[in-house]
Structure 1
Amino acid sequence: MTAPHWLALYAGLLLAWIGVWAMSSPGEFATILRDLCMTPAAQAGLPGLLAMWLIMSSAMMLPTAIPAFATHDQIADAQGVGGGAWLVGGYAVVWVGFSGIAALTQMAAARVGIADAVWLAPALLIAAGAYQFSALKEACLSKCRQPLTYFMQHWEEGPWRMGLRLGATCLGCCWALMALGLIGGTMSLGFMALATVLMTLEKLTRGGFVPSAIGLGCLAGAGFLIGGYL
């Protein structure tokens, strides 16, 4: 795993987590990041929000995709072909697009005045919890759990298209949990670390225990918040 695309992937992952860690540590650089992340969305502007979501997506999603990337390279090496960089690139494009949509959504919510609404947190938790039990979640997760089968089915498409398809499948697995960053705290080290561990466990384990436990946890969190508002 010393090919250029692996080195770039690890470098990007390391830089993303360094940025998140630095924000929670003392120092001038951390202060700049903290000010950016704590600035209201309407004031931070689209570039600032996009930067935050790109860092979040890189830090949280790249670790969950490493087994799939490794599987691709094993197949490619056995066949004497490359394409790992194109696969990672296609995957990244999907999450750059998600980051853009998330940034636009966050800015729009701030401008119409719902970003701080008391109902937003329980509503997102209910949506994320319910999605954990959906057929679409199960379909996407089953593909993420079997990268070898996935690549055998789509190998003829080439690495770029497989990367796009893999990114879309991964997005189908994780978008709802990622969206909780709107309430869990954009660039929150604790939230991001917990969500990364949970999403990785979902893909590395079999059966429905982990997804169901996450879903029940989200629904229980929503119930707790609603009970506190009553």
Structure 2
Amino acid sequence: MAASAKISKGTVQGLLIAAGLGAATIAAWWALYQQQVAMNSLPMDRMWMPPTGTWRWSLTDFGLTGAMWLIMMLAMMLPVVTPMAVLIARIDRSRRSDARINLSAFLLGYIALWMGFGIIVTLLQWQFHGFNWLTPMMDSRSSIVSGAILIVSGIYQFTPWKTACLNHCRTPMGFLLTHGRPGWRGGWRLGLHHGLYCVGCCWAEMLVMFAVGVMNVLWMGVITLAILAERYVPGPQESVRKLIGLGLIAWGCALWL
């Protein structure tokens, strides 16, 4: 009877964590959808758009672009980290309270790494507008640049760095048992460590947004599904990873031709 109650309590805890992260994910996707609707419906004089020249960017432009990328990171990566968060909670149920990983600190550390990546791509977008490679609506102007992004992203799928990061993300139990430390500091460091591997696994796929349209919510969903598939589809991970890589390379070559 006690065992049944314990299992029931653990199941409820896992569901609550998944529900909370799911609600945050839905909110992020809804915000992105509303922003895309506003871009497509508002008059040009009432719409914020990134300036085309690098010298014309103000702190407000950097802030709005960075906030946009942060929401994109949350929408696309919170579903990816949810199984890891549930796994941490499941492992901690069998530990003493002073030996448990702080789950909130883990998530903050994970998000902090993606915030850092968001700053990098914000600066990259600033340069893309400076070179006139993106329209004010943040769509690609150049099939050559788009093709290059797709080909580079596809080639990265076959590199040892991608394989190492993906292996880490597909086998989190050993990582948790090896690197998990109790308390807030332990959770923060674990989140940073896991986030570093996650960025290493997914950065090239994120750059595909520059080729398909930075604010294209449909393609955000497709990329998110691709990331989830290469991590969580049962069986050899090489097949999904290589299929994505070949598809990106073929798509990039088609744009060039």
- TM-score bracket for the superposition, by shorter chain length: 0.7 to 0.9
1:109 alignment partner, one of 95, 106, 128: 128
- Provide, for residues 75-99 of structure 1, a one-character-per-residue CA deviation record: whole Å limited to 9, x for no partner: 1122143500010000000000100
- Provide, for residues 36-92 of structure 1, a one-character-per-residue CA deviation record: whole Å limited to 9, x for no partner: 4x5456568211211111111111111111111111111112214350001000000
2:176 alignment partner, one of 132, 139, 151: 151
> Helix, strand or coil: the match of 1:60?
helix
- 2:32 matched residue in structure 1: 20
- Pairwise CA distance, 1:12: 2.6
Q: Write the mapping of 1:1-230 to structure 2, written as runs, cut at 5 A.
A: 1=13, 9-25=21-37, 31=42, 35-36=47-48, 39-40=50-51, 42=53, 45-80=61-96, 81-115=100-134, 116-156=141-181, 158-205=186-233, 206-207=235-236, 208-227=238-257
CA distance in 2, matches of 1:138, 1:35: 42
Shifted more, 127-136 versus 147-156: the winner is 147-156
TM-score (ref. length: structure 1): 0.87
Larger radius of gyration: 2
Letter in 2 for 1:90: G
Could you say if the C-alpha distance between residues 29 and 2 of structure 1 is closer, same or farther in structure 2, counting changes exceeding 3 Å?
A: farther
CA distance in 1, matches of 2:126, 2:164: 31
CA distance in 2, matches of 1:5, 1:107: 36
Could you say if the C-alpha distance between residues 77 and 48 of structure 1 is closer, same or farther in structure 2, counting changes exceeding 3 Å?
A: same
Aligned length: 224
Give % identity: 30
- Pairwise CA distance, 1:7: 6.3
- Pairwise CA distance, 1:163: 0.3
Q: Is there any run of 5+ residues in structure 1 with no aligned partner, and where?
A: none
- Pairwise CA distance, 1:111: 1.5
Letter in 2 for 1:156: R
TM-score (ref. length: structure 2): 0.78
> Helix, strand or coil: the match of 1:167?
helix
Q: Is there any run of 5+ residues in structure 2 with no aligned partner, and where?
A: 1-12, 135-140
CA distance in 2, matches of 1:117, 1:17: 27
Shifted more, 184-193 versus 162-171: the winner is 184-193
> Helix, strand or coil: the match of 2:162?
helix
CA distance in 2, matches of 1:122, 1:28: 25
